[in-house]
Amino acid sequence: MAIRRTYLRPMDGWWRRDPFFLRYMAREATSVFVVAYALILLWGLVRLAEGEARFDAWLAWLASPLSVAFHVLLLAVFAYHTWSWFAIMPKTMPPVVVGGRRLPARAITAAGVAVAVAASAALFALATVLA
């Protein structure tokens, strides 16, 4: 009696074969940058608790060219992260009916992005006024 080998489907690079999975993995990879920024903010809170001199040193580190470049990268990554989550929002929520017609997915995504931009602008304006 011959022994049959079990079929094993190759899994190497499965996410690179389909553009949908490529976008999915890119969206998931942005979470690493979100965690990195959260750690930077947490580090700032720790420095604030340690005293004014330590907090001022943290602020000086934030003003370094390397940190500024990293924050520019973070801004681009966060913009993609925000857009990608609003792009999948119409697929994850129940249908929105306005005037007897279903609201197009593009309108839902555009509204979400517009609200995110408006909230960011308001927060930026508030931060500039308080600074």
Report d(CA 86, CA 116) in Å as an integer: 9
Q: Give the tens place of pLDDT for each residue, 25-67.
A: 888 999 999 999 999 999 999 999 999 999 999 999 999 999 9
98-120 confidence digits (pLDDT tens): 889 999 999 999 999 999 999 99
Query: What CATH fold (topology level) applies to the domain 17-94+101-130?
Result: 3 helical TM bundles of succinate and fumarate reductases (1.20.1300)
Mean pLDDT, residues 77-93: 91
Greatest C-alpha distance within the chain: 82
Q: Is the pLDDT of residue 20 over 90?
A: no
Q: What is the pLDDT of residues 48-59, one digit of tens each?
A: 999 999 999 999
